[in-house]
A and B are shown apart, each in its own frame.
Chain A
Amino acid sequence: MSESPAPARTSPSVLGVSNLVMRYGEREALRDVSFEAAAGELVAVIGPNGAGKTTLLSILAGIQRPSAGSVNRAPREVGWVPQQPALYSKLSVAENLALFARLERVADPDGAVERMLEQTGLRERASEQLARLSGGNRQRVNVAIGLLSRPPVLALDEPSTALDPGQRERLWSFIRGLASEGTCVVFSTHDVHEVQRYCTRALVLADGALLFDGTPAAFLAQAAADRPGREGGDFEGGPATGTGSGPGTGGDSPEDSRGGRGAAGYPIKDFEDAFVSFLRARGHE
């Protein structure tokens, strides 16, 4: 179970995950993971390799069946954006969207295609085959397909992997726009800076266990509190220079959580540093 209580939410919960367990033979990929998420939340799932991030998201999307536990949303109510674009390279952008709109039995497939072309800014490239698009544009189509049926929850597996900084920026702008319109977005990432910059909440997984559930600011505070003393630790940073808030009271906005000073007053260099420190303190390298 996570160490921190989930942050208080004013919006009602749209996603409930209860006691998820996933076993592959003897190995437990997920251990009793539970959380809830509200409309408009941007929830990041982070953790080292093999932590269970993709397993968790694939269970949310209905790709894998959990060994135990439940999710309160049907697969169709969760928009799914896999890490690698699941698209047909011989079809055009519009044809891909139309195909999945029909498969999803969207009430107005043509309208949905038009809406997604508009939202993704790909209208001018609607008739181009996917094979001719850049990685960033493919990923936009990939996300658009996940949104065709206007799902209340969108799950993205490492959506910004293999994108250049410009494409990444545009993608996150688009995703934040979705969240601001009320979509609950759950995504996994290896880039912890994205957590710091974009998300409202972080779930930290390691060895299948949920170690942390809270805001990025709270995570920084927790990491700082965990920091061993100067003489005992390997932290090389100097005095805190960040402007973050105090322990356990991290600001709710991502902008408020760029570094900080822990309860013991030891400085946290950045979010990545906090992440490594947090995991080390719990025996995960």
Chain B
Amino acid sequence: MISLLRKDFLILRRSRLTVALLVIYPVAIALLIGLALSRGPTKPRVAIVDETTPGASVQVGGRSVDVSEYAKQLFDQVEAVPTATRAQAIAKIQSGDVLAAVVIPHDIAARLSSDVSKAHLEVLYNGDALEQSLVQSSLSSALAQANLGFSEQIQQAAAQGIGLLLRGGNLGVLGAPANLVGLSQIPPLLRGVIAHQPPGADRAALERTLAFATFAAQNLALSKTVLSTISQPIAVHSTLLHGRRTPLNTFAVVVAVTVSLMFICLLLAAGAVALEREEHALARLLRGAAGNRRLDRPGGVLISREGLLTEKALLAASCSFVVAFAMLAGIGAFVHLEWTRLPLWLAALALGAVAFGALGVSIGALAREVRAASLLAFLLSLPLAFLALVPSGSVGRGLYDAISVVSFVFPFKAALQALDAAVNQSSPGLPISLVHLAVLAVVFGALARVGLRRLD
């Protein structure tokens, strides 16, 4: 087996272009996937046409809220491109400079202040179905955020007015009397007056007024809370049920490294086994491996089928392990990783590599030539990686169940979970994933053994 291993390393050393492609391609793919995962969606570039008059405001309880506050809220949610006119905005959409435009009409303040009509914004966009969907989704989210922020401003102004009504003092509204008594101050004042009143019709009237004032003060105080609730009716409180929350960037690192591990290992293992067949060497190496005759003298074989498969799987596993670990360590220079967990990383990478090696040799055993084996490995790798990353709930239940089964019977998801557990302490724990990988390695090793029965 050592001789064969040396031979394979020698062949690899002389196939520099193949080796370079074998390493560079998967690492590039892995980094792209990792980069895509680690970056959240970028803000959509949107033209904002603010037709409101500078200083236009909405009057709430004697206080005014500047309408430009709304534009500010919207600017925070998008990459705003201030645009003077609607026509310019349309030109920018058509040229592709912006994804969409939001026109804030000049009468928005008047409509917001009126009790009868609703304020409207105009949203303009074009593009294909996918782009329209993306723009609609992004803008809906941005406008909802802006609406929320603006309504909070109005709610704060309203709450301030209610507070002044309750506490009394100077309302600051033109024409309002100075030093007004607050609603909450009226009940104690009335109680003082009632105490000096003899029983009779006047006292009864004052007591009824006291009851009303007490009730009104209590309910007006409550309305401040109600206003707050209306502005944000549902607050989100997150609870993680299992394990530790994995930061997106370190999860992306784990995905990138696992993809590289899989690509290199599968291609190398499948190619190495198929090369033996392509060079017509398989029969020469394995002849007599079946113990295929009654002998009057003992006979031997150059290498057993199991030995050959183990050698190829180890070759691929060791190469992919080295590349994947170098990648993990290299990325570790830029992303915070816990180096104290190094032994666990190594265990996850090693067992993942062995499981991928077993899958690779089973592909190689089925293929007749290197090109077919490589193609098969590619065709299998990409869907496996993408299927394993499909989040639950993003597709129908039946489809997700099918995806889960596929992900379970191939090593990518188990390797991803093992490395995620090793790097990020996520769930399921490392031991479960390692056992899963070991079982898959045995199963695919057995399949490869069956595939290698044919020697020609």
Which residues of A are in contact with B by a Cβ distance under 8 Å? 58-59, 61-66, 70-77, 80, 82, 84-91, 95, 99-100, 102-105, 129, 145
Contact = CB atoms under 8 A, between A and B. Distances in A.
B297 interface: yes
B299 A76 contact: yes
Contacts of B10: 90-91, 95
A285 B227 CA distance: 102
A75 B289 CA distance: 9
Contacts of A103: 3-4, 285, 302-303
A86 B14 CA distance: 19
B7 A84 contact: no
19 contacts: A59-B292, A62-B290, A62-B299, A63-B283, A65-B293, A66-B292, A75-B288, A75-B299, A75-B301, A76-B288, A82-B283, A86-B281, A88-B279, A89-B279, A90-B14, A95-B10, A99-B3, A100-B302, A145-B284
Nearest to A89: B279
Interface in B273-292: 279-281, 283-290, 292
B288 A62 contact: yes
Contacts of A61: 283, 287-288
Interface string B1-44: 00110010011001100000000000000000000000000000
Contact of B287 (A62, A95, A100, A129): A62
B280 A84 contact: yes
A153 B298 CA distance: 16
A154 to B, nearest CB: 13
Contacts of A64: 292
Contacts of B292: 59, 62, 64-66, 75
B299 A70 contact: no
Nearest to B299: A74
Interface centre among A63, A84, A102 (most CB of B within 10 A): A63
A274 B295 CA distance: 37
B14 A77 contact: no
A88 B11 contact: yes
B7 A88 contact: yes
A169 B298 CA distance: 36
A134 B428 CA distance: 58
B281 A62 contact: no
Contacts of A77: 297, 299
Contacts of A91: 7, 10-11
Given A62-B299, A90-B15, A75 B287 contact: yes
4 smallest A-B Cβ distances: which pairs? A74-B299, A75-B288, A65-B292, A62-B288
Nearest to A71: B293
Given A65-B292, A90-B15, A103-B285, A85 B280 contact: yes
B314 interface: no
B296 interface: yes
A82 B14 CA distance: 26
Contacts of A74: 288, 293, 295, 297-300
Contacts of B297: 72-74, 77
B8 to A, nearest CB: 9
A103 B300 CA distance: 11
Contacts of B327: none
Nearest to A54: B456
B242 interface: no
Nearest to A109: B3
A192 B224 CA distance: 109
B293 A70 contact: yes
B309 to A, nearest CB: 16
A82 B285 CA distance: 12
B147 to A, nearest CB: 67
Nearest to B291: A65
Nearest to A62: B288
